[in-house]
Amino acid sequence: MTTLLQINASLFSNNGQSSRLSEQFVGGWRAANPQGKVVVRDLAAAPVPHLDAQRFGALLAKPEERSAQQQAVVDFSDQLIDELRHADVIALGLPMYNFGVPSTLKAYFDHVARAGVTFKYTETGPVGLLNGKKAYVFAARGGQYAGTALDTQTGYVRDFLRFIGISDVEFVYAEGLNMGEESKRSALDAASASIRQLTAPLRAAA
């Protein structure tokens, strides 16, 4: 069974523009994969705790030395990683807040980046272990930043996913959403058209 993991990072849950774009893609994917499975990880409805010294220490502790509290932290991290490991496709709804990724997404990344689990260190550098996956990122922004120095998201998200082994990543942007109704409508229409282009081959192959 083919599995898609949908990660919504909007503070507004499934009402955020990035989540709606992601949902459009998921709808097309469902049509092409009627027997497929969709797992939703909503970082607003179920926030991942931010990494602190206590949680970081739990992730580093040797299994035989973990306290019950530390084991609970590891079990939670394992759950997030298992969702990624079993996913063939990842759809990430990504809003921009104050020129960066939502802090809840950063917390999520902090809990899935684990040496020996999602990546390993080698003599030539780190190697990602979550291979063979395709990721789509649906980026919604109030201003226009793609291709400029103010776009701190694209490189960071692409680099992080590559770090854990997910190198096949495609971005769809909806920018200028706070620059007037015409700009918003045009951006969302263009993003929807891009999503239809992405899902058309999937439906044709179904």
Q: Which pLDDT tens digit goes with each residue over 51-88?
A: 999 999 999 999 999 999 999 999 999 999 999 999 99
Question: So what's the pLDDT on residue 53?
Answer: 97
pLDDT digits (tens, 9 = 90+) for 96-154: 999 999 999 999 999 999 999 999 999 999 999 999 999 999 999 999 999 999 999 99
Q: Which residues make up each annotated binding site?
A: 10, 96-99
Percent of the chain with pLDDT over 90: 96
Residues above pLDDT 70, as percent of the chain = 97
Would you list which residues are annotated within the binding site for FMN?
10, 96-99
What pLDDT is stored for residue 203 in this prediction?
60
pLDDT digits (tens, 9 = 90+) for 138-158: 999 999 999 999 999 999 999
The answer, yes or no, to whether residue 1 has pLDDT greater than 90, is no
pLDDT at 205: 57
- pLDDT mean across residues, the chain: 96
Q: What CATH number is given to the structural domain containing 16?
A: 3.40.50.360
pLDDT of 204 over the 90 cut: no
What does the pLDDT read at residue 200?
79
Q: What is the pLDDT of residue 135?
A: 98
Range of the domain at 191: 3-205
Please give the full DSSP string across the chain, using - where no structure is assigned.
--EEEEEE--TTGGGSHHHHHHHHHHHHHHHH-TT-EEEEEETTTSPPPPP-HHHHHHHHS-GGG--HHHHHHHHHHHHHHHHHHH-SEEEEEEE-BTTB--HHHHHHHHHH--BTTTEEEETTEEEE---S-EEEEEEE-SS--TTSTT--HHHHHHHHHHHTT--EEEEEEE--TTS-HHHHHHHHHHHHHHHHHHHHHHHHH-
Q: How many domains does the chain have?
A: 1
